[in-house]
Structures are given as C-alpha cells and as structure tokens.
Copies of this chain bind each other. A is one copy, B any other.
Amino acid sequence: MSLDEHLRTVRLVDHHVHGWFTEPGDRASFEQALNEGSTGPVTSGFDLPLGMAVRRWCAPLLGLEPHASADAYWEARAATPYDELVATFLDAAGVAHWIVDTGLTPGLVTDPEPRSEVLRLELALEQVLGETDVPGAFRERLAAADVVATKTIAAYRCGLDIDWSRPGDADVAAAARASGSRVVDPVLVAFGVHEAAERGLPIQVHTGLGDRDLDLRSADPLHLLPLIRAVDVPILLLHCYPYHRNAGYLAQAFEHVSFDVGLAVNHLGDRSVQLVGEAMELAPFGKQLYSSDAYGLPELHYLGAHLWRRAMAAALADWPEDDAARVADMIAAGNARRIYGL
C-alpha cells in the first residue's frame, strides 16, 4: 500500500473533540462557526482559509464539484437531511475513537461514539464552589468522574503565566469563598490541575489560538514550565499555534509532555501542510497526537481528519514507506491509545 493510501485509510483516535450541533442551524450560524476567533457576527465565514477548505474538500461529499460556490454549498447542505449530513461527514472522518470534551455548550451538541470523556477542571470546580468543604467536594467529584483525562482552560481564565505551585487546602477554601460563580483565581485553577495529577489523570491544556476572550500572550505553552516540572502525569498541549514550535521543544525535553496542532489544522485550511511540517521539526514521534478539536459543524470532524492525512502524507513523502506508515500510525492513534490507556 502506498503512503498516500495508508494515510487515507488509517483509523484515527481524535484525542480532543466536541460534539456536533443537534440542529443543522441557519447559514449565519454556519458561517459564524467557521470563524474561531470572532464571537460576533462575521463578514463571511467562507472568506477564510477554513471556508475555502470546506468548499474544496467537503463539497464533493455533498455531491458537488470541489470548490463549489458558497451559495451552492449552502444550498446542497440545507437540502440534505441533517442525520444524513452528519453520518456522511462522521463516516468519512475515519475515526475509530473520540475523546470528547463534553463541557462546551452541552445542550447544543450531541456526542460522537464510541467515545471516552474528558473532565473540564474549571467547570467541575464551579459545580462545587457552593459546598462547605470545597477541596473535599472537588476530590469526590474527581474520584467519581468516569473519564480518561482532564482539561484546563486556564489560558481563558487567568492565563498560563501564573504561580503553578500546589496550593494548600486553606488557601483553596479562602479563594473559593472570595470567588464569584466563575473560576478565574489562579489558586483554584492550580488546585484543580494538581488534584488531577494527584489522581494520575492526564491533563489536557488549552494553549495557543482561540476566540477573542483570550490574551494570546498568556497562552504560550512555555509558561507551563513550572507545572511541567512539578507533576509527572501526561500533559497534553492542545492546539499550540502559533506556538507549536515551542510545544515541540517541550515535548522533546520532557517525557510526559505531548502535543497536537488540532483546531489550527482546520482553521489554516490547505496551509495545514506547512503547520504539520513545523510540528514535526523537533518533537519525538511518540509525543504527537491527532485531534480535530471540531465543535458544532460535522464538516469539521471530517475536515480535520482529511487535512491531517493530507499534511502527514506531505511531511513524510521522502521517508521509506514502512517508516512513514509506522510513524503515521503512532500519531494517528497509537500515541493516544498508550497515553490514555484506551
């Protein structure tokens, strides 16, 4: 089997993903969902690298020519029964297992199967903020969770450049009392992460690009150095762009650090080839994972996979086929199965 064929058919573990919308939505919400950064109305979701990639790669799955116009794409999509649309893109994704962050707008999305789940630490903390013994209640919450990993969105709440030392329970209790209903206090964030590490749970960390609530300066994974030195559970750096070279450095330096370029692989569209190439510069092959970080649009569950397959084929084109296939399999699924114990 050629490398291209191998990469077209290898079954993936998408190690960080969300559900797809329960309803097909209107065109405005569709175009909005193509822009990760903006939380307001956008000029045109199709006039983005991701929008071009949807027209190029998703259109044929709806029976259109590659690069069908935006109008034609929307028309064909709207004419397809939503169940069929979802099935088409999910099947074409070629994903054997999904590791799902269910904490983002759970009412609006449904969940892929078969799946394992990830616990959002800040959300879990917010659910126990009213308890008398917050540290104890959080530990119980964590012990009861049926998940293969945890996730922190510290980057959105307080930035990654915080004091990552492990806080005592008294400090946590005081911070909880002083806190509103939203966890933004670095003491609470650090507490959640250290408790996850204490239980031996892998920790996914949002780094790099996101929406406008983010201060991208504080989302550089290099800020995690003190945390990385303090814990020994697997740390999974998510997204990373435009700091993916920094992530590769951390993955080489620390055995328990791995990373992906999910989210970016979709939003960069056809430029994901260069992105995946840069991700392959420094990191050990056993420390990289595939993810789409798809949310809402089933197109994204498929497109992330397709763009990654295409980019890996380019990145490995000069390698002998058996080497290339072995490394592709590691990043496609093997590393995730090992790290999450699937």
A-side interface residues toward B, CB under 8 Å? 35-38, 40-44, 47-49, 52, 67, 209, 211-212, 214-217, 220, 222-223, 225, 241-242, 245-246, 249-250, 252-255, 267-268, 270-271, 274-275, 277-278, 280-286, 318-320, 323, 327, 330
A sample of 12 cross-chain residue pairs with beta-carbon separation below 8 angstroms, ordered by A number, consists of: A35-B252, A47-B284, A47-B286, A47-B330, A49-B281, A52-B319, A67-B320, A216-B225, A216-B246, A217-B220, A217-B222, A217-B225
Known: A252-B36, A253-B37. A43 touches B284 (CB 8 A): yes
Q: A282 and B253: CB pair below 8 A?
A: no
CA distance A40 to B214 in the complex (A): 35
Give the shortest distance, in Å, between A272 (CB) and chain B (any CB): 9
Q: A255 and B49: CB pair below 8 A?
A: no
4 tightest Cβ-Cβ pairs between the two chains A and B: A37-B253, A37-B252, A242-B245, A212-B253
Known: A268-B282, A277-B274. A38 touches B209 (CB 8 A): no
How many identical chains are in the complex? 3
CA distance A108 to B109 in the complex (A): 59
Q: A323 and B277: CB pair below 8 A?
A: no
Give the shortest distance, in Å, between A203 (CB) and chain B (any CB): 18
A275 — which chain B residues lie within 8 A by C-beta? 281
Known: A242-B246, A246-B242. A277 touches B271 (CB 8 A): yes
A327 — which chain B residues lie within 8 A by C-beta? 47
CA distance A113 to B2 in the complex (A): 47
Q: A282 and B255: CB pair below 8 A?
A: no
Of the candidates A255, A267, A277, the one having the most CB atoms from chain B within 10 angstroms of its own CB is: A255
Q: A319 and B67: CB pair below 8 A?
A: yes
Known: A36-B252, A47-B286, A217-B223. 20 other contacts (CB 8 A): A37-B254, A37-B282, A40-B255, A42-B255, A43-B286, A44-B286, A47-B285, A48-B283, A52-B323, A67-B319, A209-B249, A211-B253, A216-B246, A241-B245, A241-B282, A242-B245, A252-B267, A268-B282, A271-B277, A275-B281
